[in-house]
Amino acid sequence: MPSNLQTSEIVTDPEFASLLAPQSHSEMSELERSLNLVGCRDALVVWFTDGKKMMLDGHKRYPICLKNGIAFRVEAVELESREHALLWIESNQLGRRNLPDDVRAMIALSILERRSRLERHERAIAAGKTGGRNHPKKVSFETAASSKLKPKEPKERTRAAVAEEAKISERKLRVVQALRKRAFKVLGDARANELLLQIRRGEISIAAAGRTLVRAEAEQELRAAACNREVLGRKGQQAEIGCGRLVGPFRCCTCVRGDAMELLMELPMWAVDGAVTDPPYGLRLAAWDSRVPYHLLGRFLQISDGPVVWFGAAPVMTEACTMFDPQPERVLIWAPKFTLANARSKGIAYRFHPIYVWRVPEEHDGPTWDVLDVATEAGNWWRHPCTKPVALMKLLCRLVPEGGLILDPFAGSGSTLVAARLTGRHFLGFEMEQNYCDIIQARLRGKPSQRLE
């Protein structure tokens, strides 16, 4: 077996090997077939340190060559430290042509952080600070001069250079930086490291990891809400309309004043027959509209034994399709003849709302087309900014069987609850604002709100 080193001297370091992207059984079989067919063309690369020859490149080829008696060459590289060796391996990984972009981004982030640590270390050496408080490190003239010739690069420039080297956008590198920071904050060290390792191995995507963090944040918020929740009798006020049936601690056919996040915790599994709701859109046009509560989808699917219908906004439709987990079964379009005056992109106004639907029943009395052109309602006395027409909500409520119970945790002006009653369904609504609770009660009783007159 021709080689310029004794192969028994080559050592495989577990940490070095862990930096390599895993290969599937089929990929390993193809590699073995190729090596048997054309031989080992590229040399194995090792690093001499402490009398050992540590494998840097060739971890997969080396055992195959030994097993099949395939000749190979070994080349050595000189590196200053173990950290430099780790950096060499990661930089070399970026040369793989079939590396997914998300994996590239994670490797690029690691390279960026290693270079930052090495730069800080070199500056400490130049300043004579690495030998301890009482034993300052001696620094050669050449090292000090070298440090002067290499002023500190701005973070943005360093990040741009690493992104270019990794063949990804700088924006993607910023995204994984933010994801990493958020993961450690939300999950803690052990779980965050495992999540990031899954991305690096190609087991999950960056988007899927983001959804994991959204769910984890939601669970934290729900736990906090459960711990800090006030007694419902003090904080939650139910409208004096009801059929007498209980839904968890709430009376059916009522609207409860309170935060949806807290009140949803009170409902048991499969408590309702469907959910039809119009949550915040995430357009940041008002304080209440700053964030789409994607994390509540899982709770809706637990509470509802049937369809879940969720109004969205056209400008964030692409984001929604990424964030929803699971993905909606159908997307309906409400396209009334008006424009969303405050929502434009590059001079073009939006004229539709996406309606996301999960668990569409095989048979129902609801929409027969996926584009709904129901007109908006004019002249409403309640002046709610996002009122949906009752005719539209009646169509959606009919996805739930007659006599079923419909939940709307973002009741707003109450159109869903009114539509449910008009179509022979029971209902339960949650609404934070007392003013809108008064509106809902007045609409359900069929008379204007005295509060607004």
**pLDDT, greater one: 325 or 408:** 408
pLDDT of residue 283: 53
Treating both helix axes as pointing N-terminal to C-terminal, what angle do 170-187 and 206-228 enclose, rounded to 10 degrees?
A: 30
**Token representation of residue 160:** 């741009």
| One fold for 7-93 and 236-452 | no
Average pLDDT over residues 448-452: 39
**Considering only CA atoms, which of 84, 404, 65 is closest in space to residue 252?**
404
Residue range 7-93 forms a domain whose CATH class is: alpha beta
68-80 residue pLDDT tens = 988 998 888 888 8
**pLDDT, greater one: 137 or 392:** 392
From the number of C-beta atoms within 10 Å of its C-beta (0-12, 13-18, 19+), residue 104 rates as buried
Q: Which amino acid is at 89?
A: I
**Considering only CA atoms, which of 101, 53, 70, 62 is closest in space to residue 2?**
70
C-beta atoms surrounding 298 within 10 Å:
15
Report if pTM > 0.85. no
The answer to whether 412 and 387 are in contact (CB under 8 A) is yes
Confidence check: pLDDT of 378 > 90: no
Residue 403 and residue 407: Cα distance in Å, rounded? 13
> From start to end of 266-360, where are the E strands?
274-277, 308-311, 330-334, 344-345, 348-349, 353-358
User: What is the domain partition of the chain in residue ranges?
Assistant: 7-93, 101-221, 236-452
Average pLDDT over residues 307-333: 91
Confidence check: pLDDT of 141 > 60: no
Among 1.10.10.10, 3.40.50.300, 3.40.50.12280, 3.40.50.150, what is the CATH number of 236-452? 3.40.50.150
The answer to whether 105 and 113 are in contact (CB under 8 A) is no
**Close Cβ partners of 435 (under 8 Å, ≥ 6 residues apart):** 451, 452
pLDDT of residue 427: 95
Between the ranges 1-10, 226-235, 399-408, where is the mean pLDDT highest?
399-408
